[in-house]
Structure 1
């Protein structure tokens, strides 16, 4: 079994986040690895394809702020410094891949589901992360 040096846990801030975070923390501790957290906020205009002629900027800012607060709360509970918390915006799979490359992470941990509704119809984030990753990916079965 490889010894990981830098682990990136991609969390969706849902109820299933604790399962992913618990597994990531355990693996980082056993390997002596540096653990990073990432959450990606999908722009509302991506979700709706620009079909709705509305300005979503204030709602998007509110989503960003709430996500940042939640991300830091999870990090604090897991004893992860804020400089290892990454809040990004865009398509989750591509943003996770880019961050993984820039951090030189050797393992991505992601929940195997947790997305519901419209996001489920658009495809699985875990599947997207798995198929484009240049390193190992651990999908934690949640829910």
Structure 2
């Protein structure tokens, strides 16, 4: 098993964040690795196709502020320094690829819902991260009873 030096844990700030964060902390602790925490806020115009003739800037700012507060709360809980917290905006998979390369991360940890059928065909963030990553990816199963 590889000995990881720099780990990037991607959290979505949902109820399942703690499961992903707990696994990331455990892996980082066992490898004595530097743990970074990241959340990507998807711009509303991307989520809704960009063709809505409304100004979402104030709503987007609120989302950014709430995400930043939650990110720092999780980081504090896991004893991750704020300089290792990253709040990004854009498509989650591409932002995670870019940040992992910038940080020279050797492991990305993401949550995965284990989707099947149509949801699997349409893809997910975990799937997008897996197929474009230049390092190992650990998908933590969340949202299902064991």
Q: TM class by shorter-chain length?
A: over 0.9
Q: What CA distance in whole angstroms lies between the structure 2 residues aligned with 1:55 and 1:14?
A: 26
Shift, 1:49, TM fit = 1.2
**Counterpart residue number, 1:62:** 62
Q: Which runs of 4+ in 1 moved over 2 A?
A: 119-123
**Counterpart residue number, 1:131:** 131
Q: What CA distance in whole angstroms lies between the structure 2 residues aligned with 1:13 and 1:122?
A: 22
Unaligned segments of structure 2, at least 5 residues: none
**Counterpart residue number, 2:79:** 79
CA RMSD between the two structures = 1.9
* TM-score normalised according to structure 2 size: 0.92
Count of equivalent residues: 140
Shift, 1:113, TM fit = 2.7
Shift, 1:52, TM fit = 1.2
* TM-score normalised according to structure 1 size: 0.93
**Counterpart residue number, 1:107:** 107
**Counterpart residue number, 1:20:** 20
Unaligned segments of structure 1, at least 5 residues: none
